[in-house]
A and B are shown apart, each in its own frame.
Chain A
Amino acid sequence: MPLHKFNFGSFRRYTGNRWVIWTIVLSLMVALPLITIAAEMFSRGDAVWHHILHELVPSYATNTLWLLFGVGMLTITLGVGAAWLVSMFQFPGRNIFRWALIMPIAIPAYINGFTWAGMLDYTSPLYTFLRNQFGIDTGTYLFFDIMSLPGAIFILSISFYPYVYLITRAYFQTQSANLFEISASLGYGPWRTFFRTALPLARPAIVAGVSLALMEVLNDYGVASYYGVDTFTTGIFTAWFAFGDTSAALKLSGYLMVFVFVLIFAERTQRGQMRYSAQGIRKHGLTPKRLSGTGGILAGIFCSLPLLAGFILPAIMLIWWSTQTFSLIVDAGFWSLLRNSFFLAGTASLVVVAAAILLAYTVRAYSGRFVKILARITTLGYAIPGAVVAVGVLIPFLWLDNRLIQLPWVNTLLITGTWLALIYAYLVRFMAVGYNSIDSGMEKIPESLDEAARSLGMTHGKVLRKVNLPLLTGATLSAFLLTFIDVLKELPLTLILRPFNFDTLAIRAFEFATDERVAEAAPYALVIVLTGMVPVLLLNKYIGGETS
């Protein structure tokens, strides 16, 4: 079929095409729980709903906007800045920074929150030292009260900037050096090249990274609630748990998804018809320029700040706590925790990546509006709290289960409470992580390649396998590993949907942390971090782009 026929975007064109039908079926499956949640928006609100809407939401939403703004600015500054420095320049410590800057992603944000609070509270090693050795009155805060809105912005930024760093760096490094060389030959200095060439060109990558970071901010409950910052998500939980009003909670979540959806589309529309794929695949990679003297030192300092705040200091604190409580870990069925965590993370990541590739390719090959919108809807599960996603998953599952149980040979709920339900829930939850990575990877592949392959008579399956996938190795791996780390850290879904007697590392850490036993949680948190480091290092190796 000639290619131009697909450019109309009417649903009718798709019917009869198996490829598209499978994609639509898959997307609907992922979207179903989210649509179930959003459908609640159309139900009538009761007294609790109105109370929450008028008394709480205005101030809660304001806090959330501040968080989004603060974390957005900070993650872009840290993430893009560091990505640009390590891609373009050679400076002291660069080879370490390149991979080490990803590390904070291995620490769950709420653990970072607890740890930083523990580093700056009355009984922290630092304050204890100052008090006992120098008699300094550490009563009031020496530095600043981290349990506050600025504190929450800080914690969330150092936890999530790696998304921006990772995706932007992958972009810079697979970008043709020509562009930046041309910019230089036009007499632009490095600053101007950065602001006038690199930044605008990297837009899809930056947007992909920042939107992941900001969706994480929206779904965060752990950091915000511990730091006493009331966010929109706090409102969801107040409605649900404190008022026992599930409907109001789902409604609020629905509005959250609409908000994110509108933002994503606004950005896409504003981006318009611009194409970001380079004409022709890169001829040669970047050769980093040497920064010496002050420039090199400044670059080193810039890169070490997020690394210190997001990884090194929290890790030292976790190790210090672990030395006090490490004996606990030995008898606690540690290996089964590790095995469960790996099994879930591995399986879920495979499923997410496969689904993301299928979806992203279909969107690319058939630029119809219906599939595009559907694809975006499937990624919204990342923006709402995991506990709410769990409800969205439970509703259709229980509906089905309650019918299956009437069959004579079924005597229990078949799907709910199995790990298959859990994997499905992860797919709903983490589609954004897979999709954003794959999609921004595909943006870089010139569509002319696909067109050429199609005109040579290749089927879509073949174009995907022979043309796109080989060029997507980096994006695929980063999608896989990012999802892997996310599942490793995931809590609320795992908590409520897991089978009987099924524990993971994140759950153990969480159980101690919510019981206000952070020191006891530390050994498990440390193992999550160590486990997370493996994919992080792999991630660095494969998407580096450089072979140095």
Chain B
Amino acid sequence: MKNMSPNRHLFLLAFAILIFQGCGVDEDVVNIYSGRHYQVDENLFREFTEQTGIRVNLVKADTDQLLNRLEMEGANTPADLLITADAGRLVTASAKGLLQPIHSEMVDDLVPAEHRDPDNRWTAMTMRARVIVYHKDRVSPDDLSTYEALADPAWQDRVLVRSSQNHYNQTLMASIIAALGREDAEAWATGLVGNMARSPRGNDRDQVKAIVAGLGDVAIVNTYYMGLLRYSTNPEERRVAEQTRIFFPNQDGRGTHVNYSGIGLTKASGNIENATRLIEFMISRDAQQRLAEVNHEYPVNKEVEWPGLLRSWGNFKADELPLDQLEPYLQDAMFVFNSAGWN
């Protein structure tokens, strides 16, 4: 058939391209799957390349998709590092056997042990507290105490929080189950749903705006997003930030729930040395300072001072339960959300 030969050529060409890619020359690289989508991360990677000559290859996607792909690729994955914006996902990756221990004295020295996996299969890179945000006039901080107290009838129709589809809420719920047990957590969730000013919708920023709009009085929000509002390009959003305050709950008890962005070393990594250097670079003083300043995240390097905005929110006690122990509760969290009707 005369149509056959162009087809065959195309096929051979495609195949040749694939082979060519497959046999690429080995060079100094580190391959990253990242669920964080920040310009500051990419700028830091670029500086890492300038300093070390190691090329950074990056795929950014939804964390869950990346986790899924990593799992499916198994021993042949090109990825050396997995970066996520949620500790729950790192814990899951670790439980699925996708990670291996990081060997770095620098990480051991600079990152407090409670912010790392006990076997060092991942380390936190930055932290965000999940706090209660309240309206500065309508709510007195004296009225606030714990996450649990938000389920009290006093808060009827006043609480704003986003959907249970959100990672931060899922990890928060896992921490509450860990603290209270599943039954009490369910009672809490049911009480909270009863107190919601509206059914969950929108993102964290939308909850804060809804406070100022008068829809509710308190919201459960990540500190990071308060930073974004505070430095927004839209003056009205900055005004929203000015009318609200941050409260760190559970200070007299277990402490405020803190979530991590973190890095894990993949079990199949073919560039362990380069990958370790990149982790060390991200933990280093300079990088940590930049992440804290530009991205309003808490540094994990204990030698790095907090920038002004974070200091202005004040010191707080963080939940001491190591996040790797949340693994058994992550799935329970979804059952609790669903039975409480927290969509």
Within 8 A of A (CB), among B190-223: 198-206, 209-210, 212-215
Within 8 A of A (CB), among B62-100: 62, 64-66, 68-69, 72-74, 76-78, 92
A7 adjacent to chain B (CB < 8 Å): no
Bound CA span A240–B58, Å = 24
Are B339 and A242 touching (Cβ within 8 A)?
Answer: no
Bound CA span A122–B214, Å = 10
A241 adjacent to chain B (CB < 8 Å): yes
Are B339 and A55 touching (Cβ within 8 A)?
Answer: yes
B240 adjacent to chain A (CB < 8 Å): yes
- A127-161 contact mask (Cβ, 8 Å, vs B): 1 or 0: 01000000001111000010110000000000000
Bound CA span A515–B92, Å = 22
**How far, in Å, is B328 (CB) from chain A's closest CB?**
13
Are B72 and A228 touching (Cβ within 8 A)?
Answer: no
Bound CA span A308–B271, Å = 53
Q: Closest residue of chain A to B71, judged by CB?
A: A246
Are A391 and B68 touching (Cβ within 8 A)?
Answer: yes
Are B202 and A243 touching (Cβ within 8 A)?
Answer: no
Bound CA span A516–B1, Å = 56
Given contacts A138-B213, A228-B199, contact A121 B206 (CB under 8 A): yes
A413 adjacent to chain B (CB < 8 Å): yes
Contacts of B61 in A (CB 8 A): 495-496
Given contacts A147-B202, A227-B201, A398-B73, contact A51 B213 (CB under 8 A): no
B14 adjacent to chain A (CB < 8 Å): yes
Bound CA span A441–B140, Å = 67
Contact of A519 among B37, B57, B234, B343 (CB under 8 A): B234
Contacts of A496 in B (CB 8 A): 59, 61-62, 65-66, 69
Given contacts A398-B73, A410-B22, contact A123 B209 (CB under 8 A): yes
Contacts of A243 in B (CB 8 A): 331, 334
A48 adjacent to chain B (CB < 8 Å): yes
A202 adjacent to chain B (CB < 8 Å): no
Contacts of A451 in B (CB 8 A): none
Are A324 and B92 touching (Cβ within 8 A)?
Answer: no
**How far, in Å, is B49 (CB) from chain A's closest CB?**
11
A374 adjacent to chain B (CB < 8 Å): no
Are B205 and A516 touching (Cβ within 8 A)?
Answer: yes
B313 adjacent to chain A (CB < 8 Å): no
Contact of A18 among B1, B74, B214 (CB under 8 A): B1
Contacts of A241 in B (CB 8 A): 62, 64, 165
Chain B binder among A169-177, A192-200, A203-211, A230-238: A230-238
Chain B binder among A364-372, A401-409, A537-545: A401-409
Chain A binder among B106-114, B225-233, B246-254, B257-265: B225-233
Q: Closest residue of chain B to A398, judged by CB?
A: B72
Are A147 and B59 touching (Cβ within 8 A)?
Answer: no
Contact of B201 among A122, A147, A240, A416 (CB under 8 A): A147
Contacts of B205 in A (CB 8 A): 516
Contacts of A519 in B (CB 8 A): 232-234
Are A246 and B334 touching (Cβ within 8 A)?
Answer: no
Bound CA span A18–B4, Å = 11
Are A514 and B37 touching (Cβ within 8 A)?
Answer: yes
Bound CA span A242–B62, Å = 13
Q: Closest residue of chain A to B24, judged by CB?
A: A412
**How far, in Å, is B64 (CB) from chain A's closest CB?**
4
Are B233 and A238 touching (Cβ within 8 A)?
Answer: no
Bound CA span A239–B14, Å = 37
Contact of A387 among B19, B62, B203, B330 (CB under 8 A): B62
Are B163 and A511 touching (Cβ within 8 A)?
Answer: no
Within 8 A of B (CB), among A461-507: 461, 492, 495-496, 498-501, 507
Contacts of A234 in B (CB 8 A): 165
A325 adjacent to chain B (CB < 8 Å): yes
Given contacts A139-B213, A147-B202, A246-B68, contact A516 B228 (CB under 8 A): yes
Within 8 A of A (CB), among B285-343: 330-331, 334-335, 338-339, 343
Within 8 A of A (CB), among B31-54: 31, 37-39
Contact of A413 among B17, B73, B204, B215 (CB under 8 A): B73
Within 8 A of B (CB), among A1-26: 18
B256 adjacent to chain A (CB < 8 Å): no
Contacts of A495 in B (CB 8 A): 60-62, 65
B269 adjacent to chain A (CB < 8 Å): no
Contacts of B165 in A (CB 8 A): 225, 234, 237-238, 241-242
**How far, in Å, is A427 (CB) from chain B's closest CB?**
14
Bound CA span A52–B335, Å = 9
Bound CA span A401–B19, Å = 12
Are A420 and B62 touching (Cβ within 8 A)?
Answer: no
Bound CA span A56–B206, Å = 25
Bound CA span A137–B38, Å = 36
B154 adjacent to chain A (CB < 8 Å): no
A244 adjacent to chain B (CB < 8 Å): yes
Bound CA span A501–B24, Å = 16
**How far, in Å, is B20 (CB) from chain A's closest CB?**
10
Within 8 A of B (CB), among A40-79: 48, 51, 55-56
Within 8 A of B (CB), among A237-262: 237-238, 240-244, 246
B280 adjacent to chain A (CB < 8 Å): no
Most buried by B among A234, A461, A501: A501
**How far, in Å, is A307 (CB) from chain B's closest CB?**
27
Contacts of A237 in B (CB 8 A): 165
Contacts of A391 in B (CB 8 A): 68, 72
A102 adjacent to chain B (CB < 8 Å): no
Given contacts A123-B234, A501-B57, contact A420 B240 (CB under 8 A): no
Contacts of B210 in A (CB 8 A): 122
Contact of B78 among A402, A409, A417, A420 (CB under 8 A): A417
B276 adjacent to chain A (CB < 8 Å): no
Within 8 A of B (CB), among A107-132: 117, 121-123, 128
Within 8 A of A (CB), among B92-148: 92
A418 adjacent to chain B (CB < 8 Å): yes
Contact of B57 among A145, A228, A246, A500 (CB under 8 A): A500
Q: Can you offer 26 A-B residue contacts whose CB atoms are under 8 A?
A: A122-B209, A122-B210, A122-B212, A147-B202, A226-B202, A237-B165, A240-B64, A244-B330, A246-B68, A387-B62, A390-B65, A394-B72, A409-B22, A412-B22, A413-B76, A414-B19, A416-B73, A418-B21, A492-B62, A495-B61, A498-B59, A501-B58, A511-B37, A516-B203, A516-B205, A516-B225
Closest 7 CB pairs of A and B: A228-B201, A139-B214, A500-B57, A511-B37, A123-B236, A241-B64, A495-B61
Knowing that A500-B31, A511-B60 touch, tell me 8 more A-B residue pairs with CB under 8 angstroms.
A48-B331, A117-B206, A122-B212, A122-B213, A122-B240, A147-B201, A147-B202, A225-B165
